[in-house]
Amino acid sequence: MSELNWSKILGWDDAEIEELRITAFLYIREGKYEIAQSFCETLAVLNPSSSYDLATLGAIYLQLNNPVSALTYLDRAKVANPRSQTIQINRIKALLQLGYREEGLRLLSTFIPLCKDKFISSDAQALKIAYST
The residue type of 6 is W
We find that the CATH architecture of domain 6-132 is Alpha Horseshoe (1.25)
Length of the chain: 133
Per the CB < 8 A criterion, the answer to whether 40 and 60 are in contact is yes
pLDDT (0 to 100) of residue 1: 38
Alpha carbons 13 and 16: distance in angstroms, whole number: 6
Coil/strand/helix, residue 94: helix
pLDDT digits (tens, 9 = 90+) for 99-119: 999 999 999 999 999 999 999
What is the pLDDT of the chain when averaged over all its residues? 93
Residue 12 carries which DSSP code? -
Mean pLDDT to the nearest integer, 59-80: 97
Specify the pTM. Answer: 0.88
Domains of the chain, residue spans: 6-132
